[in-house]
Chains A and B, each alone.
Chain A
Amino acid sequence: DQQVKQNSPSLSVQEGRISILNCDYTNSMFDYFLWYKKYPAEGPTFLISISSIKDKNEDGRFTVFLNKSAKHLSLHIVPSQPGDSAVYFCAANYHSGNTPLVFGKGTRLSVIA
């Protein structure tokens, strides 16, 4: 049973436009969410996170939005650049817990020049 779902395996976006990557979760106890970015032949790298006490967190071109009632979060990349082409993983956990992160299956983003 997948607790973190990324329903779009892939997404293509034109350079300069907005990329929106979506993530849904089923466990209402999750209260901390992270996005990781992965290039081929490399390990995932941390991108941005959000706690459930917020509904938005921004870091440069990257913004994560959290809708707790819908159990949904999204990552916005504006403007998209060719170097953003990668696989993006959504992950979730309990902020106060010591249990491991639960990852989604990932979405492959292709930014076309």
Chain B
Amino acid sequence: NAGVTQTPKFRILKIGQSMTLQCTQDMNHNYMYWYRQDPGMGLKLIYYSVGAGITDKGEVPNGYNVSRSTTEDFPLRLELAAPSQTSVYFCASGRTGGNSPLHFGNGTRLTVT
């Protein structure tokens, strides 16, 4: 069981570069989420999706974009990387909304210099 798979594991970007963080799940979950974790700050929601073709902003969406063309995939796009986006990014999926446990990937550690 692969669960939630995130790639890459690590990445270093220069300011102004762009990249896509990939996330795929094989559990046929409708709900998918992107969180970022800064040191001592817990998990902050960036974007989420309740199904293919539907996305919505979370608490900290600025500087990011998402798409959900299939149930399995939920990529996160950074268009113009900034040092403030240095963080660990976690993708998660769930069978239903907030009342079912989320399954998380192992994260992507991103450094913007």
Contact = CB atoms under 8 A, between A and B. Distances in A.
Contacts of B40: 9, 105
B98 A94 contact: yes
Between B4, B41, B99, the greatest number of chain A beta carbons within 10 A of the residue's beta carbon is seen for: B99
A97 B96 CA distance: 9
Closest 6 CB pairs of A and B: A93-B98, A43-B104, A98-B97, A105-B42, A46-B101, A103-B43
Interface of B: 4, 31, 33, 35, 40-43, 45, 48, 50, 58, 90, 92, 96-99, 101-107
User: Chain A's interface: helix, strand, loop or mixed, by majority?
Assistant: loop
A107 B65 CA distance: 30
A36 B94 CA distance: 14
B96 to A, nearest CB: 7
Interface residues of A, number: 26
A32 B31 CA distance: 17
Contact of B99 (A9, A32, A46): A32
A103 B42 contact: yes
Contact of B43 (A32, A45, A89): A89
A7 B48 CA distance: 27
Nearest to B44: A103
